[in-house]
């Protein structure tokens, strides 16, 4: 689960990490109030979307920059007028961009140098890793690609936790000395504590800057939480912004369906993540392209299958559906009844191919055959994929 920069900064502040003073706004009245809280001096106006690269982004109407450093309140108001409710395209949003529904106004900093600092969970080594670089800011991806030696990594064992020597090691690698080593150690300690206590998978400050006055301060923040642990943190759950999520995915999560929208035109309804992956692969190998990943789970019932059909059909790109269910825990006849009932409940106008396998498969196929629902039963995954790809092609 992701949160916005302004929310991440509030959390950082709770953990003692210095951030510039700032105010969020979601409508023109709040924009006015937010700006009035800041001095009539340099102000930074920042689009809040769950994607990075805003500084270098462009709005779909041609307005440049989702992060604007402006000279006074009037210019802040002007930038806000351009950004709010406009769609921002960045390297991370995809070409369709994201609608900006929240803005953040903060004090501007006199930047001396921009650093990168992050903690991520490294599943391979089962540790967290501190990642840091002297080359922070908007070109960090290029640094990682062209000069990876400028990025340092310090693994932190979960049993030991972050120790002072870790802080000093990173601080020295970044070239800090004297008072700044202490400031940096406080920041990294707070960052790690937050990472650990809130079950984060990523906390990233890019840039962490030194100001001309010698202070270290976090100017941008990104935090992702482990959604499997989110039930332990109701205060984090509250920060979820449904505006940033695909409505189809929100609906799916209500029905305990694992659904991810993709950009193809053949929808899949499958039980089990592995089978779902295999189904997507085989569609692709026959020259088709999957419209989604959808795992209805081991114990899928009629309600879930109905919800799954509705979600699939709300995607206008879907030109065909492949149902691939393995009756292991569930019996095929039960599933077939569910599919038939759901298909009758939801009007399906696109080709539907169903492949069942497993316990009571013959009874299941009989139910499908005699249902009167327009569908093509298939005997194998290969055959099912071949048929649906062909049918979708012919429908074009
Ligand atoms: P993104 O990473 O999405 O592009 P950032 O918040 O990192 O957005 O902002 C981009 C750049 O804008 C930063 O690298 C920094 O140079 C500048 N910037 C951001 N916030 C401030 C601020 N409060 N004061 C001065 N400059 C800022
Ligand atoms: Mg940034």
Q: What contacts 123, CB < 8 A, 6 or more positions away?
A: none
Query: Cβ neighbours of residue 244 under 8 Å, at least 6 residues apart?
Result: 2, 49, 50, 98
Instruction: Please choose from 67, 109, 215, 218 the residue to mutate so as to test ligand 1's pocket, defined by most ligand atoms within 8 A of CB.
Output: 67
Pocket of ligand 1 (CB under 6 A): 20, 44, 46, 52-55, 67, 69, 106, 108-109, 111, 114, 137-138, 206-207, 219-220
260 CA from centroid of ligand 2 (Å): 27
Give the DSSP letter string of 159-221: TT---HHHHHHHHHHTT--THHHHHHHHHHHHHHHHHHHTTEEEEEEEEEEEETTS-EEE---
DSSP string, 46-94: EE--S-S--TT-EETTS-B-SEEEESSHHHHHHHHHHHTT-EEE-TTT-
Query: Considering only CA atoms, which of 18, 105, 111 is closest in space to residue 68?
Result: 105
Out of 55, 100, 135, 222, give the residue to mutate to test ligand 1, the one with the largest number of ligand atoms within 8 Å of its CB.
55
Q: Which atom of ligand 1 is nearest to the CA of 137?
A: 14
3-state class (DSSP) for residue 106: strand
214 alpha carbon – ligand 1 mean position (Å): 18
Question: Is the per-residue pLDDT at 329 higher than 80?
Answer: no
Residues 295-313 have a mean pLDDT of 85
pLDDT band at 210 (very low <50, low <70, confident <90, very high): very high
H/E run at residue 112: strand 111-122
What is the DSSP code string of 241-281? -GGGS-HHHHHHHHTT-EEEE-SSSEEEEESSHHHHHHHHH
Across 81-100, average pLDDT: 94
Calculate mean pLDDT across residues 107-127.
95
Stronger pLDDT, 192 or 255, i.e. the higher one: 192
Question: Domains of the chain, with CATH numbers?
Answer: 21-107 (3.30.1490.20), 111-237 (3.30.470.20), 246-395 (3.40.50.261)
Write the pLDDT tens digit of every residue in 121-158: 998 899 999 999 999 998 888 998 999 999 999 999 99
Distance (Å, rounded) from C-alpha 368 to C-alpha 375? 8
Q: Is 160 exposed, middle or buried (0-12, 13-18, 19+ CB in 10 A)?
A: exposed
Please report which ligand is nearest the Cα atom of 54: 1
Q: Is 136 helix (H, G, I), strand (E, B) or coil?
A: coil
CA of 184 from ligand 1 middle (Å) equals 19
Tokens 């569930």 belong to which residue? Answer: 330
Checking if the pLDDT of 332 tops 90, the result is no
* Residues with active-site annotation: 116, 204
Q: Do the Cβ atoms of 341 and 306 come closer than 8 Å?
A: yes
Give 293-342 as a 3 state SS string: EEECCCCCCHHHHHHHHHHHHCCCCCCEEEEEEEECCCCHHHHHHHHHHH
CA-219 nearest atom, ligand 1? 20
The model scores a pTM over 0.85: no
- 350-361 pLDDT, tens digit each: 999 999 999 999
User: What is the token pair recorded at 191?
Assistant: 């960052």
Nearest ligand to the CA atom of 38:
1
Asked if 184 contacts 216 with a C-beta cutoff of 8 angstroms, the reply is: yes
- Residue pair 291/266 in contact (Cβ under 8 Å)? The answer is yes
Q: Which protein residue has the closest C-alpha to ligand 1 atom 20?
A: 219
Give the per-residue pLDDT at 396.
75
The CA-based angle 64-66-71, given to 5 degrees, is 85
- 321 annotated among ligand-binding-site residues: no
Residue 201 labeled ligand binder: no
């Amino acid at each position: 689960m992701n949160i916005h920069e302004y929310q991440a900064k509030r959390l950082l502040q709770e953990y003692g990490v210095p951030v510039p003073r700032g105010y969020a706004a979601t409508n023109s009245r709040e924009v006015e109030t937010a700006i009035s809280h800041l001095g009539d001096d340099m102000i930074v106006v920042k689009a809040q979307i769950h994607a990075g690269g805003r500084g270098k982004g462009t709005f779909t109407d041609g307005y440049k920059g989702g992060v604007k450093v402006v000279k006074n309140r009037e210019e802040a108001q002007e930038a806000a007028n351009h950004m709010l409710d406009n769609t921002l395209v960045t390297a991370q949003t995809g070409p369709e961009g994201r609608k900006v529904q929240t803005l953040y106004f903060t004090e501007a900093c006199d930047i001396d140098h921009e650093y990168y600092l992050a903690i991520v969970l490294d599943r391979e080594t089962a540790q967290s890793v501190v990642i840091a670089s002297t080359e922070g800011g908007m070109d960090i991806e290029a640094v990682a690609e062209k000069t990876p030696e400028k990025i340092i990594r310090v693994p932190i064992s979960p049993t030991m936790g972050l120790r002072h020597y870790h802080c000093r090691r990173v601080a020295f690698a970044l070239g800090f000395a004297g008072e700044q080593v202490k400031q940096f150690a406080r920041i990294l300690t707070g960052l790690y504590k937050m990472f650990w206590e809130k079950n984060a998978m990523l906390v990233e400050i890019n840039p962490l800057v030194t100001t001309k006055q010698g202070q270290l301060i976090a100017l941008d923040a990104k935090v992702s939480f482990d959604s499997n642990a989110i039930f332990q943190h109701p205060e984090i759950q509250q920060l979820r912004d449904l505006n940033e999520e695909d409505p189809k995915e929100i609906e799916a999560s209500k029905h305990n369906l694992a659904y991810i929208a993709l950009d193809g035109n053949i929808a899949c309804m499958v039980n089990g993540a592995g089978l779902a992956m295999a189904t997507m692969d085989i569609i692709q190998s026959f020259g088709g392209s999957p419209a989604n990943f959808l795992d209805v789970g081991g114990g899928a019932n009629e309600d879930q299958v109905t919800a799954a059909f509705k979600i699939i059909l709300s995607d206008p790109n879907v030109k065909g559906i492949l149902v691939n269910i393995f009756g292991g825990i569930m019996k095929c006849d039960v599933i077939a009844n569910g599919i038939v009932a759901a298909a009758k409940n939801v009007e399906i106008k696109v080709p539907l191919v169903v492949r069942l396998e497993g316990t009571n498969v013959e009874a299941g196929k009989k139910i499908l055959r005699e249902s009167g629902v327009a569908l093509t039963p298939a005997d194998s995954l290969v055959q099912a994929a071949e048929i649906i790809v062909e049918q979708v092609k012919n429908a074009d």
